Structure 1
Amino acid sequence: MSDTSSRTHVAEEDDPGSQANAQGAPPKRARWWLTGAAVVTLVLSVGVIVTRQDDDGEAKPASAAPAKSVASATGRATAPEDGPPYVSVPTFASTSVRDTAFVADVAQFSTWPSGTEPYGVMSSAPGGSDITEFRAAVIKDAKSVCGALADGTDMEDVPDAVGLPFSDPIDQAGFMVEAVTFYCPDRMAAVTDDVYSKPVPTRQEDDCPTASALEVTASTVAPTGDGVVYTAPYKVKVRNTSSYAVRVQLQQRWFADGYLDDGVWGLFGDAGDDQIVTIDAGDTFAYEGDQNGIYRWNRTEVRVQPREFVFFGCGYRPGPGPGTEDATGE
């Protein structure tokens, strides 16, 4: 029998001067829908949904004014950076790379009003599902959005048709735009009131870090006890060496003579603690605790649980860039 009777954990910020960006990735960017054409795209999408949900017959779509102003540029637009009808959409080296980038982008939904409840693992609150379950859920929902649009479902009816776990119209529209951008860009016109009708492929760089970007250390001191119960203080640090914030699930194991779970990976830290933590780029998550029990604790180890991590915002740069291919169509 064992538990951790006391613990503290803090996030330590490394010296900015020592954070050399080995990957050459740009600084953290704002949430995706606040950059480039995504602003107009989201406004248009929200307008369509809000209009359907509003019981006031006098209400006008929120997209009315933006749609009119951006549509006037259609006749002179010749490239993605010129705006409508062109819009840059990402292409990836493989479906797995695309999935990783998509999950990395929507993992930031923990800042959305209704995003933390349906995808609890991304919330800062204890509990929720594993990160792999979150990954599977958001990919499934994204593909369901595309499937509904392909079947002719009106955009405003898609959230109910596929059962999107969002109650806020902004969340609904944001997720649908993201799903279309990654999984069915040919449906972009359907979610932008036909303003963006010419998706232009933009090759993305696979720069999402692996678990090796997280340096984990754990140390203990000699246990003390009364011959019946022993206490071993320990410290854990997890340093995020990457250029992206990460949501990570940790595991811990203990070693002691006669301990039935000797060397078996189990829960991290104290019983009831959140097993999933967020570590900003370049920061260190630090944790201190005491392991108590009838065994003379020799040592402890901590690791990132296999596949249970997601780096925020990697693998995707919105907007046209050097990888943009020639626009197709008229």
Structure 2
Amino acid sequence: MIFKLLISTAVFHFAHGITLSCVPDVPENHSNISCTCRNPTKNGIEWRRNSQIVTTCSGTEDNCFPPSLKYRSSVSSDEFYLEVSPYSYTDCATYSCKDVSTAEEVYVTTSIADFDQRSITTEEPGANTDGQIMVNTGCVFPTSNITITWYKIENGTEEDFTASPIQSSERSNCSRTCNAETDKKVESGFTHTEYTGSDYVEVVYKVTVTHNLYIEEVFAWTSSKYRLKAGTTKTVCLLFVTRIPKLRLHIYVLTIMSRLNIFCNISRNRVIQLFRRRYLYICSSHVDRILSFHHKYINKIDNVSLISVPSTFLNNKQ
């Protein structure tokens, strides 16, 4: 499951004269946020947090009282500044700037972003074994900003594997809140069933975890090798397509392919039927053999090309 991205932004309110803005819109945990209140009247202002006065600043000089190490304020002409540092979950609040003379007041509600890829863990049963393959995040906020993407890699080809059977969920065993919303852990994964037959393909699974406000932090992990039944995966198959009407060429190619044992999940009679329609089929679960075969026997023949088609094509096409 891919969690839909939802960027939480600060909510701005404007009065007629005073304006208030804060940057960044969504500060990271343990960072800082800076708010600017512009008051054209140059009257003094009060900085408030959830309606409680933090500090009062004179409009005539850079003088704010009481001073605070947590809430640093300053004045420049008609602009009043408030910096909250360090900014954490407890600082999520509604901040306001109020003109002490006119009582005009403007507000901004802040949020927070929290993601640490170092807290992410994975689990798997081990190569060629049944069991759960999972990824678990630490406490993150907000979970709507998290994207978990699964891939299956077969013969070096990555395929999106995020749909079923992937199961993702959120766990509420975290304790910090921002604007009445709690941080959570996210887990995602599936149960792998190892195939023990001889007609198998070898795959590895890959997962990435991202938070859309932490652009440079991307968690990526690749599993051990596992086996699936050949033909049950979603990989495409490869077709040799020729316009040469000589059946002799098809029989020659068929003989070589049989000797190399590179057919899979298709009967010899069906292969001959396809050859008569000028289709030469090889299953993609034997890519190395296909490429070697194509280079040695087919590559130099005119009007022959190698294309990709869905695996259902060969079984359904009459």
Could you tell me the TM-score, scaled by structure 1's length? 0.26
Higher fraction of helix: 1
Higher fraction of strand: 2
Structure label with greater radius of gyration: 2
